[in-house]
A and B are shown apart, each in its own frame.
Chain A
Amino acid sequence: MALEQKVKYENDCDKEFASWVTSQTGGENLRHCIQCGICSATCPLSLYMDYTPRRLINLAREGFKKEVLSSFTIWLCASCYACRSECPKEIKVTDIMYMLKRKAIEEGVYPRRFPIPVLAREFSRMIFMFGRVNETLLVTDLFLRTNWFKFLSMTGLGFNLMRTGRMSLLPDSIKRKGELRKVLDAIESEEKKETVK
């Protein structure tokens, strides 16, 4: 049996990532985490995670960038806020998960089996186009882009939605699309300025 290093040395981690995590809004008080594990205990999805929320927090604040950004954990968080409302140190765990999701998308390191980043991007594209989201079109698009086979197995569900009049195939749109785009573009140019700085 080949020997494998199971525990990382301090030198193996990315200090820059650690200081980025703890400098973000919501991440400031990560240093206060006492590793009590109430987040993992309340999380209804922790049993599917590769690192429980408690472990992920510890990895993030110590700078284990690769483990954190390529973990299943951040994509399994359904934003139910149970951990946040129970945390004795009032750490905003859900917001930290969002922050890590954004970083993983930005760096393109998320695990390929999760269609969630595709969904999130399609969602934002639809908002830029129409200002509103049509759930039917969003879901159809998602399955066509990620999993044809699964799409076929969804036809029963689609039929049921059609039968009950809950499916609409036309995108709903706001009137002042220009106004909304102006707002989003203004944020984008502001953010570009910041990165240049």
Chain B
Amino acid sequence: MKYQYFPGCSLKGMGKAYEESFLAVSRALGMEIGELEDWNCCGATAYMSVDETKSYALAGRNLAIAERTAGDVIAPCSACYLVLNKTMNGLRDNPGLNRKVTGALKSAGLEYKGTAKVRHPLDVLVNDVGLEKIKEHVKAPLSGMKFAAYYGCQVVRPYATFDNQDEPVTMDRLIEAAGGECVTWPLKTRCCGGSLTGTVPEAGLRLAYILLKEAKKRGAQAIVTPCPLCQFNLDAYQEQIAAKFERIDMPVLYFTQVLGLAMGLGAKELGIKRGIISAETVLAGR
């Protein structure tokens, strides 16, 4: 199985632990992963608010580069995953947009055919690698640990076809394969606040607080997420949330970190220490 890894800006910055754990887990599972050559920023939600066509062209350059090499693209960041898929759909369905974007790419010597396939690690791990194979690799099951599986919005909405848009289950299955237990909670895909935590904190911080509070109420020891922005909002703003609402003290892990721990990989290799709310106490109890 050969894949092209699209890190995006977050996994090289504040979401480093996601890159570390994702690569460690996929290598341990025997996946062949190379980083997409000279990738650029996907444009995220911000560029779409400035210039629509340019934001498609930005993502288009990445897709054109990906088409040169065999192997599906894996985009672990929810925003990258959404934008790359949105671009493929937009260029397929809108001939005027397609003409403009492919023309601009051509002027820089790039060719876009629309043959790339952009996938999320949740999809690849569950559907390509398979739960059975993952279970075979589990050496140190997280028995007795309770997690709140929090997917966030953009990984399942609106383009993902590998899971349900409101009640997704792929990450629950992976956590269970790792020996952990998923608490029942209704906020799996409710917004974490996105960039509003920074730009309009009165509204943004409350959204993050609602998730933390509910996870605690349901008995979760940690929140598990597949998105770098969700992880950042829920982990890094807990101090501000404590000042404004109440102290929750809830570690927020990436699902790849949970899998890696169960597979017996080292905490350092998985970037466990990069959490601002330390997960060490919770993990020591297992």
Contacts and interface: CB of A to CB of B under 8 A. Distances in A.
Contacts of A80: 153-154, 157, 190-191, 194
Given A80-B153, A85-B157, A166 B200 contact: no
A148 interface: no
Interface stretch (B54-62, B119-127, B214-222, B246-254): B54-62
Contact of A123 (B14, B46, B107, B275): B46
Contact of B239 (A85, A98, A135, A157): A157
Given A101-B49, A127-B58, A182-B107, A82 B189 contact: yes
B165 A187 contact: no
A197 interface: no
A160 B41 CA distance: 25
B162 interface: no
A164 B279 CA distance: 13
A82 B103 contact: no
B196 A76 contact: yes
B154 A161 contact: no
A116 B199 contact: yes
B40 A127 contact: yes
A81 B200 contact: no
A119 B48 CA distance: 12
Interface string A129-167: 001111110010010000000000000110011011111
Interface in B1-29: 9-10, 12-17
A157 B233 CA distance: 11
B16 A48 contact: no
A191 B56 CA distance: 14
Contacts, number: 191
A78 B152 CA distance: 12
Contacts of A78: 45, 153, 191, 193-196, 204, 207
Contacts of B49: 98, 101-102, 105, 116-117, 120
A127 B191 contact: no
B41 A131 contact: yes
Contact of B50 (A124, A166, A179): A124
B186 to A, nearest CB: 13
A182 B46 CA distance: 21
Interface in A1-16: none
A82 B38 contact: no
A179 B60 CA distance: 12
A23 interface: no
B33 interface: no
Contacts of A76: 196, 200, 203
A187 B100 contact: yes
Contacts of B14: 135-136, 161, 166-167
B236 A161 contact: yes
Interface residues of A, number: 61
B47 A44 contact: no
Interface residues of B, number: 67
Contact of A85 (B166, B194, B200): B166
B270 to A, nearest CB: 13
Contacts of B191: 44-45, 78, 80, 82
Contacts of A20: none
Given A81-B157, A160-B236, A190-B100, A121 B50 contact: yes
Contact of A119 (B10, B101, B109, B199): B199
Nearest to B58: A127
Interface stretch (A32-40, A51-59, A63-71, A169-177): A169-177
Contact of A82 (B43, B50, B157): B157
B108 to A, nearest CB: 4
B264 interface: no
14 contacts: A25-B94, A45-B191, A45-B207, A76-B200, A82-B153, A98-B49, A98-B52, A105-B49, A135-B10, A172-B9, A186-B104, A187-B101, A188-B54, A191-B53
Interface of A: 25, 44-45, 48, 75-76, 78-82, 84-85, 94, 98-99, 101-102, 105, 114-117, 119-121, 123-124, 127, 131-136, 139, 142, 156-157, 160-161, 163-168, 172, 174-176, 179-180, 182-184, 186-188, 190-191
Those 7 A-B pairs whose CB atoms lie nearest each other, nearest first: A78-B194, A80-B153, A186-B104, A81-B157, A80-B191, A182-B108, A123-B46
Given A48-B200, A78-B191, A188-B54, 5 more contacts: A82-B191, A127-B58, A183-B110, A186-B57, A186-B103
